[in-house]
Structure 1
Amino acid sequence: MILFFLVFNSAFIFASTVDTIKVVSKSMNKSISNIVILPNNYSTQKKSFPVLYLLHGASGSYTDWISKVPSIKEYADQYQIIIVCPDGGHNSWYFDSPIDKNINYETYISKELINTIDKKYNTSAQKSGRAITDLSMGGHGAFYLAFKHQDIWGAAGSMSGGMDLRAFSSNWGLPKLLGKYSEHKESWEKNTVINMVYLLEKDSLKLIFDCGINDFFYDANKRLHKKLIERNIPHDFIERPGAHNWEYWSNSIKYQLLFFNDYFKS
């Protein structure tokens, strides 16, 4: 009996609710799946919850975080936040593609999805209650979307993000989104995060990003860090041993959540 009580009580403590919702994207004329993780006391609290948008990497899906890092559900309880994991397509890089008019993930995430989440759930529906982060392609996407839409997100993070796409101009389906670099150089220069720092105002966004020193994106992250320093943009940058893998990201997300929690509480 005592053992049963302990098991039951433990399950109740971490009793976050996981929804899968479909959102119709008018900009892409299709229905898109998203996971929404609600904290354990969501249904009993008459308050608004901050929201973390947690993207996914190239060739990944909206189920990656919940399947590869199940503790993400416990983090929603611990920090009393709603976590939204959108499907960003196979290799969308979260652009509105200037080449393929059917690829509009910037519009989807920053307008269509956010509007749906704010209508359906009890959210803090202003930038002070909204953050975005992820890894690799999603790390690029988080900074890309936050830099371009500083009125929507108050904080942004990146883990092993692809901050300079120009060095990988033949990889991950990028030519299908931006065209060949030799023929569409302007699109590449305009849409790579390291060239978007000029959009930032000094206190417009709270920023955190990190990268493992054995990661192929490490050099670009260091260069972005240097550029932010040169422009006097406050940010947290962390480098630590690690490669481009889930072992690194499952550790990294813990530190980013502390950062976002401090932001939401401030």
Structure 2
Amino acid sequence: MKRYLFLAAFLFCCLTSFNTVFAATVDTVLTQSKIMRKDIKAVVIKPASYSADKKFPTLYLLHGAGGKYSEWLNKTPDRETVKRLSDAYGIVVVCPDGGATSWYFDSPEDSTYQYETYITFELVAYIDSHYSTIKDRTARAITGLSMGGHGGLYLGFRHQDVFGACGSMSGGVDIRPFPENWDISKRLGKYSEHPDRWETNTVINLTHLLTPNKLAIIIDCGNNDFFYKVNVDLHDKLLDRNIPHDFIIRPGGHTWEYWDNAINYQMLFFSRYFNRSKS
């Protein structure tokens, strides 16, 4: 009997060790933003297959308003979701701190909120110089939730030389209906005083930058979300312009339960894009 107990304990330890070794690992890094003159944290999730001898595609995963860099690891109902998906698809996932309410613009009002330049140039350069990544737009994607959904499409549309794919989950893809919300006026100035800034920095007005099949796009929003209408409006505008994209509507609201589910669809979409780009 003791022999069997010992064998069971040995097998349990082996399996535990196996799961510990062959699992995604998480780095918390401190990156420097020269344009904002400050250090900014990010988490970098490396898949189990990560090796300096191999190059990996990268997904930049953005948080929402009031959030921070660590949220995708500690706010989802299943805390392991993003790590498990990184493992499954062999993708390096980068979750930067985007400021509480940056909206991922370069703010004309506040020099300490220049997050478009930080994410697109400073952070990408840091990741590509410190990690074993494929340094090409066809191996980079960007997405996020809520404010980060706006950021995913905003940066993806505006920087197609950097990102080959982009997405949004419950994204604020048209900021104009919300002139008093989420500190947007602190970043762009009041809508009544600077309507031009609002018009040129809302995602729905950036579709003129797109050409069919150049950028892979996925948009996901729950039918009970307060951003539902603006997402449907963006979908319709993309259809009118003949821009291919995946558009997902499911029951749900503006919740972590929804995003914990949505990220599964998004990472599958990006993995398929990365694999097609290799062939």
Query: TM-score band (shorter)?
Result: over 0.9
Tell me the amino acid that sits aligned with residue 87 of structure 2: D
Question: Which aligned pairs between 1:1-266 and structure 2 lie closer than 5 A?
Answer: 1-13=10-22, 15-43=23-51, 46-69=53-76, 70-71=79-80, 72-266=82-276
> 2 CA distance for matches of 1:94 and 1:221?
18
Give the drift of 1:2: 2.2
> 2 CA distance for matches of 1:216 and 1:126?
35
Q: Deviation string for 1:133-192 (max 9, x for gaps)?
A: 110000000100011001100000100000110111000001111111111000000000
Any idea what SS the aligned residue of 2:176 has? Answer: helix
> 2 CA distance for matches of 1:6 and 1:177?
51
> 1 CA distance for matches of 2:20 and 2:124?
30
TM-score with structure 1 length normalisation? 0.97
> 2 CA distance for matches of 1:142 and 1:3?
42
> 2 CA distance for matches of 1:34 and 1:237?
29
Any idea what SS the aligned residue of 1:32 has? Answer: strand
Tell me the amino acid that sits aligned with residue 93 of structure 2: I
Any idea what SS the aligned residue of 2:265 has? Answer: helix
> 1 CA distance for matches of 2:265 and 2:100?
27
Give the drift of 1:4: 2.3
Corresponding residue pairs, total:
264
The 10-residue stretch of structure 1 (162-171 or 93-102) with the greater mean CA deviation from structure 2: 93-102
Tell me the amino acid that sits aligned with residue 66 of structure 1: L
> 1 CA distance for matches of 2:48 and 2:18?
13
> 1 CA distance for matches of 2:11 and 2:50?
28
Tell me the amino acid that sits aligned with residue 62 of structure 2: L
Give the drift of 1:22: 0.8
> 2 CA distance for matches of 1:217 and 1:18?
31
Give the drift of 1:3: 2.4
Give the drift of 1:11: 3.0
CA RMSD of aligned residues (A): 1.0
Tell me the amino acid that sits aligned with residue 46 of structure 1: D
Give the drift of 1:9: 2.5
Give the drift of 1:12: 3.2
> 2 CA distance for matches of 1:176 and 1:10?
46
Identity %: 55
TM-score with structure 2 length normalisation? 0.93
> 2 CA distance for matches of 1:9 and 1:149?
40
Give the drift of 1:234: 0.3
> 2 CA distance for matches of 1:2 and 1:204?
50
Give the drift of 1:7: 2.6
Q: Structure 1: give runs of 5+ residues left out of the alignment.
A: none
Q: Deviation string for 1:38-86 (max 9, x for gaps)?
A: 111213x511100000010000000000112322111111111100000
Tell me the amino acid that sits aligned with residue 141 of structure 1: G
Tell me the amino acid that sits aligned with residue 257 of structure 1: M
> 1 CA distance for matches of 2:157 and 2:122?
18
- The structure with the largest alpha-carbon Rg is 2
Give the drift of 1:103: 1.3
